[in-house]
Amino acid sequence: MGTHNYNLSEQFEFAGKAKTLSIVALVIGAAAIAYGFSDHALHERTFSNLLLMAYYFACVCMSGAFFLAVQFVAQAGWSASILRVPQAMARTLPLAAIILIVVCGLGLYTHDLYHHWNAPGLTDPKSPNYDKLIAGKAVFLNVPFFLGRQVIFLGVYSIFAMLLVRLSANEDLAGGLNSYKKSFKYSCIFLVVYGFTTPIFAFDTIMSLEAHWFSTMFGWYNFAAMWVSSLAIMAIIIILLRRSGYMSWVNNSHLHNLGQFIFGFSIFWTYVWFAQFLLIYYANIPEETVYFYKRFENFKFWFFLNLVLNFLTPVLLLMDRDNKRSDNKLLIVSILVLCGHWVDYYQMIMPGTVEDKAGFGPIEIGIAIGFVGLFTFTVLSNLAKKPLIAKNHPFLQESLHHHL
Amino acid sequence: MSNIKYILGSFGDPDEMMHGIEKLQENNIKIYDVYTPMPIHGIEAKLGVKRSRIDVAAFCFGITGTLAAFSLIYFTAVVDWRMNIGGKPAFALPDFIPIMFELTVLFCAFGMVGSYYASTHLFPGRAPRVMDLRATNDRFIIAIDAQQGAEHTKVDSLLKEAGALEVKYNERKYISYE
């Protein structure tokens, strides 16, 4: 390996096909939302889809910040040259957080999104709608506390995300180890906060859609899903950037690491998914099995597609070392895993909100495309604001010479 | 024909050894093997060592474990002695999966340890054989098969030029720890 001459002030320019396509996708999304709200019968379905994509969007950006923190705490060197991509995702988190809070708030106040626990009379012993179980949970599951938790969790994640991004920007200007040490410190705090609060965040946003049912595995199950999908998005962005001539310093070894991450955490996702499923299946307690009964009877196709896309695909296609190092194959698997986690969220949300009125059509596809467009547009605009490499990162040389 | 079987160039510095490998290769002298006390980056590529197929072996061992577990449970719980456990069908696949998973891991791990022992001729109770004892300590050894026809004096001078601290002529392939 000789000495490398890379342009360390290389900057991404967000223009041309990427910009046009993301705006087209945004328009398609807007059209799908307008179509969904034009017919009263489709309101709930549209809202469930908005929740799905808003949650997906926020989770992916949160995990971008989580990735940054993990790299700092592990004092990882290999990733130093690709940190700008998760940083762009972390910068998008405040926007994603606002969208998710708005969707949850509108869902609570104007629609029956959380109707399992948020309906008139559920906690009133005199009402015919009185539900003893929900009344017992009302201390935790009530509108102000619910929205307050959403705001606080997403707010704290956003603050840490922006903090890590800003420290890296300062590092570009000032150099030295000061920013790195501070990033390390804040990352440690962030990981503790994140680890304890993401399960609660998932309980709130998704699990409370079916408030009678509960599973302590659910938080980690969602964490695994958001982390894998975020890694897959990072791999896609990096591969596509490299194809259009940017980030020439990213070599197959960096892709290998990302591939290992996607492979390993897909197995972790399956492990948690199965741990939740097996215990419920084996114990066979009606109040727990009802969750899987609904999914298995009415959503059988999605139930199995979920496992095929999120377990079999990465395991069989990414097991081989050469496949992890090949950008074509990693790109295909990453796209499949992303679709797979859409399916995952779909079968988490739909049986609890729209039940038999769920479907797959222009609303689902349109809103998903719209959010992909929004994600692409915002993340790439953020990416274009800073050079593509953190040139003063103390481990930069290790990353540039990364070789497995 | 002399009795010398292997010529060993003993280097004190990995960079000099890498240089020595280049020198020998330039002169078309076939290198039998290289022994180093620590892993050296890029040496496999330089020597043209083929990639290990341990991953393929691991996959095969793993699948064997999965199938072994499945057949065992299937035979005992479905064919030979059906039992009613919690009202579930005898062939309840989700219940099988943890055991199938565990045996996959077990077979895979034992299989790989076994393959490692087999390919390195290293298993408990056997005295390890090495060409030069100091290759396990502080020296980097290039071994050249002396019967291959290269002139010994030329090999000797090439090794010394590259910085070999010592050149040995072994009449036996291995010396052992015994």
8 Å CB contact of A284 and B98: no
Closest CA of chain A from B88, distance in Å:
9
Domain, as residue range, for A356: 16-382
CB atoms within 10 A of CB A318: 22
Q: Structure tokens of A395? A: 């481990």
Range with the lowest mean pLDDT among A5-19, A79-93, A193-207?
A: A5-19
- Which CATH number is B25's domain given? 3.30.70
Average pLDDT, chain B: 88
Q: Is A390 left (phi over 0), alpha (psi -120 to 50) or beta?
A: beta
Instruction: Identify residues of B whose CB sits under 8 angstroms from chain A CBs.
Output: 41-42, 55, 59, 86-88, 94-95, 97-98
Report the share of chain B in percent with pLDDT over 70.
98
**Whole-Å CA distances, A311 to A256, A328, B148, B172:** 19, 19, 52, 53
Same domain? B71 vs B42: no
Looking at the fold, whether B78 and B115 belong to one and the same domain comes out as: yes
Helix (H, G, I), strand (E, B) or coil at B7: strand
On the CB side of A376, CA atoms within 13 Å amount to 22
Domain count, chain A: 1
- Residues of B with CB below 8 A from A320's CB? 55
| pLDDT-based confidence at residue B178 (cuts at 50, 70, 90) | low
pLDDT digits (tens, 9 = 90+) for B75-92: 999 999 998 888 888 999
For residue A298, pLDDT over 60 is answered with yes
- Residue B163 falls in which region: left (phi positive, over 0), alpha (psi -120 to 50) or beta: left
Per the domain annotation, does B156 fall within a domain? yes
Strand partners, B144: B7
Contact call for residues A309 and A265 (beta carbons, < 8 A): no
pLDDT digit string, tens, across residues A142-201: 999 999 999 999 999 999 999 999 999 999 998 889 999 999 999 999 999 999 999 999
DSSP tag of A264: H
pTM equals 0.89
Range(s) of the domain holding residue B101: 54-120
Contact A278 B95 (CB under 8 A): yes
Report if residue B159 sits inside a domain: yes
- Using an 8 Å CB-CB cutoff, list chain A residues near B95: 278, 282
Give the number of other Cβ atoms within 10 Å of residue A296's Cβ: 14
| Residues B28-58 pLDDT 10s | 888 888 999 999 888 888 888 888 888 889 9
pLDDT exceeds cutoff 60 at A1 = no
Please tell me whether residues B100 and B86 are part of one structural domain.
Answer: yes
pLDDT of the residue at A188: 97
| Residue B171 placed within a domain | yes
Please state, as a whole number, how many other Cβ atoms lie within 10 Å of the Cβ of residue A194. Answer: 22
Q: ipTM value of the model? A: 0.78
Per-residue pLDDT reduced to its tens digit, B108-160: 999 999 998 888 888 778 777 788 888 888 999 999 888 877 788 888 888 88
For residue B32, is it within any domain?
Answer: yes
DSSP state, residue B88: -
Q: How confident is the model at residue A87 (pLDDT cuts 50, 70, 90)?
A: very high
Q: Which two tokens stand for residue B118?
A: 């087999």
Share of chain A above pLDDT 90, in %: 81
Say which residue the tokens 């506390």 belong to.
Answer: A145
Could you say which of A281, A320, A403 has the minimum Cβ distance to residue B94? A281
Size of interface A-B (CB pairs under 8 A): 21
> Which among B41, B59, B95 has CB closest to A282?
B95
Report the distance separating Cα A266 and Cα A257, nearest Å. 14
How confident is the model over A14-54, as pLDDT tens digits?
Answer: 888 999 999 999 999 999 999 999 988 888 999 999 999 99
Contacts of A2 in chain B (CB under 8 A): none
Rounded to a whole number of angstroms, the CA Rg of chain A reads 22
B134 assigned to some structural domain: yes
Distances (CA, A) of A321 to B26, B53, B54, B107: 32, 11, 12, 21
pLDDT (mean) for A311-320: 93
Distances (CA, A) of B177 to B51, B126, B131: 29, 10, 10
pLDDT tens digits along A99-116: 999 999 999 998 888 989
Looking at the domain assignment, is residue A1 inside a domain? no
Count the domains in chain B: 2
- d(CA A278, nearest CA chain B) in Å: 6
CA distance A280 to chain B (A): 11
